């Protein structure tokens, strides 16, 4: 029959937590953290903010359209310059007359005819819808397509801003857009153009690009209007010299509003905003869905954990999301396993407390009976016998309390201590040497006594037998197993220690004896707390029944297993017991 001899040091046991959950002072704070119904969770708001912000940045970059506007402006200027060259060529051929001054000998001189120039300018401008002006070589305005001259006088044509259209909301949107396009992209760096009044146009100084055209260069300029016309504050002007046989006779200036450019940009931006509206709707819906698949399960897990903390029963379960196959499912599984482990630990604490109360009650009952009896007995011999019983019970209580203290602090120590490499082969050799030295000292002190069982260690197999663990606690395991085997071995018997490295890298240690073996069906029961069934003739109360339980607890804390079996002879008879300890690879 297998039991244990305890070899651990005596240390005070830490106080255990109560077996049932208790409401702590943190309950009000936990309640205050509960989300108000109907209010989006912070996680949902963060997911929405991140996704919508990324979309806004993308759309903002698309709406900028700076390069697109530059290409449109350049294309419009190229088209306007082509028209200006055509106008200049036509004027150079059809609006030129001989100069009134007497030319030098052998040379002809030409000049622009204001009347012919006005007629041609008016006809050309009607076909192209551009504001066309003709300047003489001195920079004086000769003709303007928006000024009609006749016998009654002059009629000036002015392009007025478009009247407001649509409902107030549409007008507000248009006004906002008009302000927006002036900022994105910025047009503040463009030169400001101010149209001179009609009566002062002829005497006003020509624009700078006209002066360059009179010098023989083509000139194109983009202006910013102080008063936008037709919803555009852009004005494009191109000045081209009017030449006759390479002689500069004047300059033609074409100007056109940037309405076409703004309408093209508006159209592109409208399409982008439509796509953005759809993308924003999809992003919000997907964000809410994503937040729901993340925040809602986490909230359920938190609420279940809070109910579990504040409740007094086991009716609350952690929701099972393991089928999701993601991190939340993994968290759910871990929380469920942790809860199950906590309940198992609480059950173990309750059983441990009940077992301790039961084991302590037996010697206390014996002590009370002996104390009550000793005062009534007059016979010295019987009184001495009762005093001896009282002393044995006190020793039994002291040993039991020491073992309980050692067992109760074991969990805390195993959870805090850092694992280090431990050489199992060297440990077994040391334990065998200690027993051999102790046995030899005992033989010298007790001559003629029967030979005590010996400890024999077989050479380790499989190379290094190093594992990760706590050396002191692993030593306690093998001390318990060796002492247990010695207590059941007959005089002259052997306790054999063997260790090997298995093919999967684990270390396997066996401790076998020549004793009576383990009763059938008790191979698992011998590892229960306070279980003891000692050899015949051994003094009662010598062992507390905690040694094998502690050994199993230590081995399992190292991720290993411990097993007890009977050794069978050739005929199938029991010839001893063997304990197998398996520790995982480091």
Tell me the domains of the chain and their CATH numbers: 45-98+110-149+171-273 (3.30.450.20), 317-416 (1.10.287.130), 418-440+452-585 (3.30.565.10)
Instruction: Give the model confidence (pLDDT) of 355-370 as tens digits.
Output: 777 667 777 887 788 7
- As a whole number, the mean pLDDT across the chain is 77
d(CA 586, CA 505): 8
d(CA 249, CA 216): 10
3-state DSSP of 96-165: EEECCCCCCCCCCCEEECHHHHHHHHHHHHHHHCCEEEEECCCCCEEEECCEEECCCCEEECCCCCCCCC
Structure tokens at 417: 């201590």
Q: If you search the block for the tokens 């050489």, which residue do you land on?
A: 423
Angstrom distances, CA of residue 289 to CA of 44, 52, 54, 282: 9, 14, 18, 10
State the average pLDDT over residues 390-397. Answer: 78
pLDDT grade for 50, boundaries at 50, 70 and 90:
confident
d(CA 85, CA 218): 9
Question: Which conformational region is residue 431 in: left (phi greater than 0), alpha (psi within -120 to 50 degrees), or beta?
Answer: alpha
pLDDT grade for 550, boundaries at 50, 70 and 90:
confident
Q: Say whether pLDDT at 29 is over 80.
A: no
Q: If you search the block for the tokens 């520790």, which residue do you land on?
A: 583
What's the pLDDT at 186? 66
Instruction: Give the model confidence (pLDDT) of 148-173 as tens digits.
Output: 664 454 555 555 555 555 567 766 76
- The listed range with the strongest mean pLDDT (82-96, 457-471, 529-543) is 82-96
What's the pLDDT at 509? 92
Q: Say whether pLDDT at 181 is over 60.
A: no
What's the pLDDT at 457? 87
pLDDT grade for 310, boundaries at 50, 70 and 90:
confident
The answer to whether 428 and 457 have CB atoms below 8 angstroms apart is: yes
Q: Which residues neighbour 292 within 8 Å (Cβ) at sequence distance 6 or greater? A: 44
Q: Say whether pLDDT at 188 is over 90.
A: no
Q: Say whether pLDDT at 47 is over 90.
A: no
User: How many Cα atoms occupy the beta-carbon half-sphere of 369 within 13 Å?
Assistant: 8
pLDDT grade for 64, boundaries at 50, 70 and 90:
confident
Instruction: Give the model confidence (pLDDT) of 236-251 as tens digits.
Output: 999 999 888 888 888 9
Q: Say whether pLDDT at 34 is over 80.
A: no
pLDDT grade for 374, boundaries at 50, 70 and 90:
confident
d(CA 128, CA 124): 7
Percent of the chain scored above 70 by pLDDT? 74
What's the pLDDT at 18? 42
Kindly tell me the burial class for residue 372, based on how many C-beta atoms sit within 10 Å of its own C-beta (0-12, 13-18, 19 or more): exposed
pTM over 0.85: no
State the average pLDDT over residues 242-262. Answer: 86
- Paired strand residues for 582: 508, 561
pLDDT greater at residue 102 or residue 494: 494
């Amino acid at each position: 029959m297998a039991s244990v001899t305890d070899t651990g040091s005596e240390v005070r046991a830490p106080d255990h937590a109560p077996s049932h959950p208790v409401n702590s002072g943190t309950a009000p704070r936990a309640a205050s953290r509960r989300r108000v119904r109907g209010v989006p969770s912070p996680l949902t708001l963060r997911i929405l903010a991140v996704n919508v912000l990324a979309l806004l940045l993308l759309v903002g970059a698309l709406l900028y359209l700076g390069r697109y506007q530059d290409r449109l402006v350049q294309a419009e200027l190229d088209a306007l310059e082509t028209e200006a060259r055509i106008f200049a060529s036509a004027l150079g051929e059809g609006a030129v007359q001989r100069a009134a001054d007497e030319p030098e000998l052998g040379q002809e001189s030409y000049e622009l005819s204001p009347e012919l120039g006005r007629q041609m300018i008016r006809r050309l401008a009607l076909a192209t819808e551009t504001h066309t002006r003709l300047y003489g070589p001195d920079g004086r305005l000769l003709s303007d397509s928006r000024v009609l001259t006749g016998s009654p006088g002059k009629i000036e044509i002015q392009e007025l801003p478009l009247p407001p259209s649509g409902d107030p909301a549409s007008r507000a949107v248009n006004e906002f857009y008009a302000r927006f396009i002036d900022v994105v992209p910025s047009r503040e760096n463009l030169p400001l153009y101010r149209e001179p009044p009609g009566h002062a146009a002829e005497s006003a100084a020509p624009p700078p690009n006209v002066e360059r055209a009179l010098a023989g260069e083509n000139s194109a300029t983009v202006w910013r209007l102080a008063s936008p016309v037709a919803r555009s504050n852009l004005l494009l002007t191109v000045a081209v010299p009017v030449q006759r046989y390479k002689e500069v006779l004047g300059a033609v200036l074409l100007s056109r509003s940037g309405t076409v450019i703004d309408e093209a940009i508006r159209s592109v931006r409208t399409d982008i905003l439509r796509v953005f509206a759809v993308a924003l709707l999809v992003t919000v819906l997907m964000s809410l869905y994503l937040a729901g698949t993340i925040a809602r399960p986490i909230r359920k897990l938190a609420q279940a954990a809070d109910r579990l903390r504040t409740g007094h029963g086991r009716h609350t379960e952690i929701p099972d999301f393991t089928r999701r196959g993601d991190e939340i499912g993994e968290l759910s599984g871990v929380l469920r396993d942790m809860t199950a482990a906590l309940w198992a630990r609480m059950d173990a604490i309750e059983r441990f407390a009940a077992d301790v109360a039961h084991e302590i009650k037996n010697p206390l009952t014996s002590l009370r009976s002996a104390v009550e009896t000793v005062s009534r007995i007059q016979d010295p011999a019987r009184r001495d016998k009762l005093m001896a019983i009282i002393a044995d019970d006190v020793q039994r209580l002291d040993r039991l309390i020491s073992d309980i203290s050692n067992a109760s602090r074991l969990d805390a120590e195993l959870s805090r201590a850092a694992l280090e490499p431990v050489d199992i082969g060297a440990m077994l050799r040391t334990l065998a040497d200690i027993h051999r030295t102790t046995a030899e000292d005992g033989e010298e002190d007790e001559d003629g006594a029967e030979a005590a069982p010996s400890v024999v260690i077989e050479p380790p197999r499989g190379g290094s037998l190093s594992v990760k663990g706590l050396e002191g606690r692993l030593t306690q395991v093998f001390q318990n197993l060796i002492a247990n085997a010695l207590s059941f071995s007959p005089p002259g018997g052997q306790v054999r220690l063997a260790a090997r490295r298995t093919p999967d890298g684990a270390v396997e240690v066996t401790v076998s004896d020549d004793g009576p073996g383990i009763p059938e069906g008790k191979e698992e029961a011998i590892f229960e707390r306070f279980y003891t069934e000692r050899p015949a003739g051994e003094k009662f109360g010598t062992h507390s029944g905690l040694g094998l339980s502690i050994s199993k607890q230590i081995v399992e804390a190292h991720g290993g297993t411990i097993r007890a079996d009977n050794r069978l002879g050739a005929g199938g008879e029991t010839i001893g017991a063997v304990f197998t300890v398996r520790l995982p690879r480091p």
